[in-house]
Amino acid sequence: MSDTELGSHEWWEQYKETVNTDKEMKVRGHDRFNTNFFVEIDDDRFLIEMHGGEVETIVPNPGVNQEWSFGVRGSKQAWEEFVQELPPAHNNEIIASNYRTAVRGEDGHLELQGNNKRIFQNLRPFQRALDLMRVAHNT
Amino acid sequence: MTIEPPAHGEKESITGHYVGVEIEGVKHRVYYEEAGPEDGIPLLCQHTAGNHGHEWRHLLADEEITEHFRVIAYDLPHHGKSVPPTTEEWWTEDYTLTETTFAESIVSIADALELEDPVYMGSSIGGNIILQLGDWHPDRFRALIGLECGTHSPGYYLDWFHHPQVNIAEVSAYACWGLMAPHGPEAARRETMHLYEQGSTGLFRGDLYYYSVDHDYRNKLDQVDPECPVYVMNGEYDFATDPDDARAVAEGVGEMASAIEMTNIGHFPMSENPELFNAYIKVVLDEIRGEDVTIPERLTPEKVGVSVPEATTE
């Protein structure tokens, strides 16, 4: 998977399989993780539709007909750091990375977007879903 | 040392006790665990926000440390086995930890245990409070060790941590997941989260009032003038109070303080990676007990002979 470009169709296919076979997602989201969130890598946005704790579909470049609960945006470099097997400090996890953006005002990190209440209501499965980008990338 | 449980039937030497402590005129029943000789140098250990003294279990179990130190890890009132005071209607108001109550709690516990020249060590809220202790009680301690300490640590006093439609236990824990370095054993990092999930509703947020609101030494570090050495030790992966923040604290406190960067570790060093942290802290503890040691400004696993995982892919 390390040879596959982050954000490519093949990459997202591998990601979907990784999430949908992850034992911890079953424990943390059970079958109640029903929401959607976007991942924005540079200018490319992907909408991840979760249903029953699994990735149902991944929609590239969602348009005005779509709606979403929350998401994460960041530069490709920040995401490439995030998915490293041993990610560097402060891009190692979403709350960490967002803190350096939102509280410290630093560049080069990820940023949470959207409905904060929904984020905290779904934090654990959402965080696991993002951490699984690292698992998929290094499988 | 090992994070493995003892062999079947083998007892650890850690003992637990309850002691009466009067804090700001209110009587409390405080739980603490200790290990080490009665005449050892007292080493008083403060847990992080919303957690309890069990975070220190690997320090309590390290015989190279308890050979010289009487390690004492307590649960602050409302935390762990230190239940809320029976004389107060604590359920009618939000639990809120102020800098005054926090500092007085620590000194009162040291007084109740009749500790003579104790070393104080704490992490996160427990790291920040070395500034109030050094400011208000400059002659009470033999040394102050602030782990994950900053002059100011904003951004964590969030209403979601007591929202009725949010899973408080899980969110209080996993909002801290990324504060740990990926190098620690996963079992130790998951245990840290497990401990976090045990806090009562509002406890984490109430402690964070101190952490992110009441604690602010940005313009008054010159007031911190203790008569003892101060060690400010922050982990590389601590995104809230990083090693640069430790250096700023030490510079502001002055000649009694030194900053020490801890690489490959984060905000919960004692529980997220006990083997690495114990190796790091022994260097400092050696100096406190009078050994002639040189403490590096930047501690690395190589310098203390501990191996950490390396990436297997590019």
Q: What is chain A's mean pLDDT, rounded?
A: 95
The contacts of residue B133 (CB under 8 Å, 6+ apart) are B103, B106, B107, B120, B140, B141, B144, B226
Cβ contact, residue pair B239, A99, below 8 Å:
yes
Answer yes or no: is A58 within a domain.
yes
Q: Which residue has the tokens 């539709």?
A: A49
Report angle CA B91, B208, A27 to the nearest 5 degrees: 85
SS (H, E, C) A57-126: EEEECCCCCCCCCEEEEECHHHHHHHCCCCCCCCCCCHHHHHHHHHCCCCCCCCEEEECHHHHHHCHHHH
Residues of B whose CB is below 8 A from A117: 160, 163, 165-166
Q: Which of B155, B174, B240 sits opposite A124 (nearest CB)?
A: B174
Answer yes or no: is A111 within a domain.
yes
Q: What percent of chain B stands above pLDDT 70?
A: 99
- Tell me the C-alpha distance between B207 and B211, whole Å: 6
ipTM of the complex: 0.96
Cβ contact, residue pair A117, B160, below 8 Å:
yes
pLDDT of residue A3: 66
A–B interface: beta-carbon pairs under 8 A: 71
CA-nearest of B290, B291, B289, B229 to B260 is B229
Query: Helix (H, G, I), strand (E, B), or coil: what is residue B293?
Result: coil
Mean of the pLDDT values across residues B171-186? 97
Residue B312 pLDDT more than 90? no
pLDDT in tens, A52-71: 999 999 999 999 999 999 99
Answer yes or no: is A89 within a domain.
yes
**CATH code for the domain in which residue A110 is found:** 3.30.1050.10
Nearest residue in B to A81, CA atom: B314
Answer yes or no: is A25 within a domain.
yes
Query: Helix (H, G, I), strand (E, B), or coil: what is residue B168?
Result: helix
Q: Which of residues 218-237 of B touch A (CB under 8 A)?
A: 236-237
Cβ contact, residue pair B237, A120, below 8 Å:
no
Report angle CA B45, B183, A11 to the nearest 5 degrees: 140
pLDDT in tens, B123-147: 999 999 999 999 999 999 999 999 9
Answer yes or no: is A4 within a domain.
no
Q: Which of A2, A95, A138 sits opposite B178 (nearest CB)?
A: A95
Cβ contact, residue pair A85, B237, below 8 Å:
no
- Tell me the C-alpha distance between A90 and A93, whole Å: 7
Residues of A whose CB is below 8 A from B241: none
Cβ contact, residue pair A95, B309, below 8 Å:
no
CA-nearest of B43, B224, B275, B234 to B124 is B234
Cβ contact, residue pair B237, A121, below 8 Å:
no
Cβ contact, residue pair B178, A123, below 8 Å:
no
How many CB atoms are located within 10 Å of the residue B183 CB?
Answer: 22
Answer yes or no: is A3 within a domain.
no
Answer yes or no: is A123 within a domain.
yes
Cβ contact, residue pair A93, B178, below 8 Å:
yes
pLDDT of residue B2: 82
Cβ contact, residue pair B313, A85, below 8 Å:
yes
**Helix A123-137 / helix A9-20 crossing angle, nearest 10 deg:** 120
Q: Which domain, by its residues, includes A72? A: 9-137
Cβ contact, residue pair B178, A92, below 8 Å:
yes
Q: Which residue has the tokens 């950490």?
A: B308
- CB-side neighbour CA atoms (13 Å) of B233: 32
Answer yes or no: is A2 within a domain.
no
Q: Which CATH class is domain B35-304?
A: alpha beta
Residue B314 pLDDT more than 70? no
Residues of A whose CB is below 8 A from B311: 84-86
- Tell me the C-alpha distance between A47 and B312, whole Å: 30
Whole-number Cα distances in Å, A2 to A8, A86, A120, B117, B312? 12, 14, 31, 55, 11
- Tell me the C-alpha distance between B146 and B228, whole Å: 13
Residue B153 pLDDT more than 60? yes
Beta strands in B104-189 (DSSP E): 119-123, 143-147
Residues of B whose CB is below 8 A from A100: 239
Cβ contact, residue pair A89, B239, below 8 Å:
yes
Q: What is the number of domains present in chain A? A: 1
Residue B311 pLDDT more than 90? no
Q: Chain A within 8 Å of B18 (Cβ-Cβ)?
A: no
The contacts of residue A35 (CB under 8 Å, 6+ apart) are A50, A69, A70, A118, A122, A126
pLDDT in tens, B93-122: 999 999 999 999 999 999 999 999 999 999
- Tell me the C-alpha distance between A46 and B255, whole Å: 53
Helix (H) or strand (E) holding B235: strand B230-235
Task: Take residue A73 and report the two structure tokens written for it.
Answer: 């945006």
Among A93, A106, A117, A130, most B C-beta atoms within 10 A, so best to mutate, is A93
Residue B234 pLDDT more than 60? yes
- Tell me the C-alpha distance between A112 and A109, whole Å: 10
Cβ contact, residue pair B155, A102, below 8 Å:
yes
Q: Which residue has the tokens 């609960």?
A: A69
A114-136: string of b/e by CB count within 10 Å (b at 16+)? ebeebbbbbbbbbbbbbbbbbbb
How many CB atoms are located within 10 Å of the residue A77 CB?
Answer: 12
pLDDT in tens, A8-32: 999 999 999 999 999 999 998 778 9
Q: Chain A within 8 Å of B254 (Cβ-Cβ)?
A: no
Whole-number Cα distances in Å, B17 to B30, B31, B75? 8, 6, 11
**Helix A94-102 / helix A123-137 crossing angle, nearest 10 deg:** 110
pLDDT of residue B310: 87
Beta strands in B246-288 (DSSP E): 257-262
Residues of B whose CB is below 8 A from A123: 167, 170-171, 174-175
Residue B313 pLDDT more than 70? no
Nearest residue in A to B243, CA atom: A89
pLDDT in tens, B206-231: 999 999 999 999 999 999 999 999 99
Residues of A whose CB is below 8 A from B154: 103
